[in-house]
Amino acid sequence: MEPFIPEFEGNLRRHMLKVPESIRQASGIKIFGKLLKSFVFTTDVSVIRNVNADAVIAVYPFTPQPIITQAIMLSADIPVFCGIGGGITMGKRVINNALNAEFQGAMGVVVNAPTANDIIALLCETVDLPVVVTVVSDEDISSRVEAGASIINVSGGPHTADIVASIRSQYPKLPIIATGGPTDESISKTIRAGANAVTWTPPSSAEILAGIMRRYRTHPEDLQSRRLEN
């Protein structure tokens, strides 16, 4: 019999975002004593404050900036893994971004797929954080591991589960994070392939707000009840 787990949701935060339950099947990765199974992929601080994921993976398609890292770190009530470059941003700036992220309290740093192995090695020498290396295929994983990658982050689109399975067959104990896809079935497939933790992309604030406004337009009694509650 499964133990009863008491839960408190509150009145105002009960509609918070929840990661798919299938992610709980993952073994998780223990980092600094914390077991992490679900990573929410976002830089939206309103989402970060209203999601039940174990951690944030804050990677975005621009040059990493300390002010963005600071805003996320100040807002988050869960561990943050910061993107520090490796694609558009290269070389010494990646190292500087990693140091800044560590000083501001990040639990880990994430580099993009094009990052050179010598930069990965230098990162591992510079910061006392796990260095998460993103890959888009199962090619040349050995050089990433030899450079010191702490965790491999697989982002292979529809081929993610196959890539995870290939890496896992080569490295039975290598920590692997992977994108889970949009369904419980795709998430479970990725976990069965060998992923220890899963990244989940939440709906955007615009999508969530559109749903709320649509409900208010079609069910005006909900809007009236909210007025009475507040």
What average pLDDT does this structure show over 23-41?
97
pLDDT category, 12, cuts 50, 70, 90?
low
- The answer to whether the CB of 23 falls within 8 A of the CB of 189 is no
What average pLDDT does this structure show over 189-216?
92
- Name which of 74, 151, 150, 86 is nearest 116 in CA terms: 86
Length of the chain: 230
Please report which residue ranges of the chain form alpha helices under DSSP H: 45-48, 66-75, 92-103, 117-126, 141-147, 160-170, 184-193, 205-218, 220-229
pTM for the model: 0.90
Q: Tens digits of per-residue pLDDT, 92-128?
A: 999 999 999 999 999 999 999 999 999 999 999 999 9
| Rounded CA separation 230/225 (Å) | 9
Q: Is the dihedral of CA 100, 102, 108, 113 positive or negative?
A: positive
Q: Which token pair is 115? A: 């990052």
State residue 222's pLDDT score: 62
Distances (CA, A) of 205 to 38, 103, 209, 230: 20, 29, 6, 22
Of the two residues 73 and 220, the one the predictor is more confident about is: 73
Q: Tens digits of per-residue pLDDT, 147-183?
A: 999 999 999 999 999 999 999 999 999 999 999 988 8
| % of the chain with per-residue pLDDT over 90 | 76
State residue 130's pLDDT score: 98
Third-level CATH fold of 21-203 = TIM Barrel (3.20.20)
What average pLDDT does this structure show over 82-90?
88
